[in-house]
Structure 1
Amino acid sequence: MGVEQARRAARLLAALKPDAIIASDLKRARRTAAELSAITRLDVVHDEALRETYAGAWQGLTHDEIMAAYGEQYAAWKRGEPVRRGGGELETEVADRAAPLVRLAADKLPDDGTLVVVSHGGTIRTTIGRLLGLEPHHWEGLGGLSNCCWSVLGEGARGWRLLEHNAGTLPEPVLGDDD
C-alpha cells in the first residue's frame, strides 16, 4: 500500500509543477521522492538533516515496550516537556537541523517557485513549527501527518504561513485581506 500511496501523492504533487525536491536520505523517504522525481524529471537532493527524530533506546520499540521501560520519560514528553526520548534528540534539535535546510532550498527557488520536501512526520511537524515561529511547546498542536500526505506553506506579509496541513488532495488557493 505504501508504494501506491507514494505514486498517488506524486501524481498530485506533480500538478503543482515543483521546481525542486529535497528529501531525507532514509529509505522510505528516498522511495517516495523517487516517485515524484520520475514524473517531474527533477533530481532529488537527499540530506540527512531531514531524517526522522532519533529516539535513542526507544528506536524499534512498541508503544507498550516504551511504556514499560520508560513510562515517566514518555509521560513527560506527552506533557510537552523537552525530553531526549531514549537518550535521542530533542525536538528543537530536529528543527535546528531541518529548518535551515528548508529555508536555504526555498531561497534558491525562482519567484513563486515550489519546493517539495520529503521527510518524516516528526521532522516535518517540528520544521513547520520552527518556520512558523511557534514556540516548541505548541508544535504538538500541529498534529501528525498521515503517510504520503503533505502540508502546504507559503510566504505571507509577515513570514511563513501554513496554508494546508495533512492534505491528501491538491491545495485550493485561499484569498484573504493580506494576500
Structure 2
Amino acid sequence: MSAATVVLWRHGRTASNAQNRFQGQLDVPLDEVGRAQVAASAAQLAGTGVDALVASDLSRAADTAGALGALTGLDPVLDPALREVDFGAWQGLLHAEVTAVSPQEYAAWRRGEDVRAGGGERRSEAAARAAAAVQRHAAAAPEGGTLVVASHGAALKGALLLLLGLELSAWGALAGFRNAHWAVLTRAPRGWVLGTYNAGPPGGGVGAEG
C-alpha cells in the first residue's frame, strides 16, 4: 500500500492569522472567514478523488479536514506529529510584540535561520516530524491513491522541502502556504515531485505562521 499523490493542505483562517499573531501549538479555532474558505476548498478537493485523510489534532486543522471528510465519507485520522512549530514564548504574541521582546532572535528567524523560536522548536525539528508523519501515512494509504494532509503553514512548508529532498535553507524560495490552499506531490521513481503549489479558491491570505 502506498499513495501516489499527497495533497498538503493548510487550515483555514483564524483570528490569530488575521491579526498577524503567532499561534504555534495553541489551539485557536477557525474564524467565520476560515470556515467559508475551508468549505470552498473542501468542495474543490472532494471532486479530485480522495482516498485517505489525516490532520493535525489542533482544531483548526482537524476541522479543516472534517469539512472534506463530510463530503467524502472519510473520517480524518488525527496525528499530533502534524502540529505546527512550537513557537514557545512567542505563541499568542503579535509579530510586532515579538520584535520588541526578542529583536535579534526574531530577525534571525525572519532571515530563515534555524533558531529555536521563543525557546520552542527549530524549523528543522518540526519539519522532520511532519515529513516523517506524511511519509508514514502515505505508506499506509491505498495503493496508487490520494492522501490529503491538513496541517499548518510552517510545518507543511518544512515537510514539503524535506519530501522534495531540498535543504531548509531553501525556505525563502517558496511563498508561505495561503490559508485553505494546498500543494500536490506525486510519487516518481526518485521520490516526490511538486506538481502544484498554493492552489485553491480565490482569497486565503498567508496570515501569520501557524
Instruction: Give the one of 125, 141, 154 matched to 2:186.
Output: 154
Counterparts of 1:45-64 in structure 2 under 5 Å?
A: 45-64=77-96
Offset of 1:32 from its aligned partner? 0.7
Residues 1:78 and 2:107 are matched in the alignment: no
**Whole-angstrom distance in 2 between the partners of 1:24 and 1:167:** 20
Residue 35 (structure 1) aligns with: 67
Asked if 1 retains the 8 angstrom alpha-carbon contact of 2:127 and 2:155, the reply is yes
| Preserved CA contact (<8 Å) 1:125 1:143 | no
User: Mind listing any 5+ residue stretches in structure 2 that lack a counterpart?
Assistant: 1-32, 202-210
Unaligned runs of 5+ in 1: 170-179
Letter aligned with residue 40 of structure 1: T
Query: Which residue in the other structure is 2:124 paired with?
Result: 92
Structure 2 match to 1:5: 37
**Aligned AA for 1:53?**
V
Measure how far apart 1:112 and its partner are: 2.3
TM-score for the superposition, normalised by structure 2: 0.78
- Computing the radius of gyration from Cα coordinates, the structure with the larger value is 1
1:19 and 1:113 in contact (8 A); partners too: yes
The structure richer in helix per residue is 1
Q: CA deviation at 1:139?
A: 2.4
Aligned partners of 1:41 and 1:6: how far apart in 2? 16
| Greater relative CO, 1 or 2 (CA 8 Å, sep 6+) | 2
Task: Report how many aligned residue pairs link the two structures.
Answer: 169
CA distance in 2, matches of 1:34, 1:110: 20
Q: Secondary structure at the match of 1:80?
A: coil
Q: Does structure 2 retain, via aligned residues, the 8 Å contact 1:18–1:115?
A: yes
Q: Percent sequence identity over matched residues? A: 49
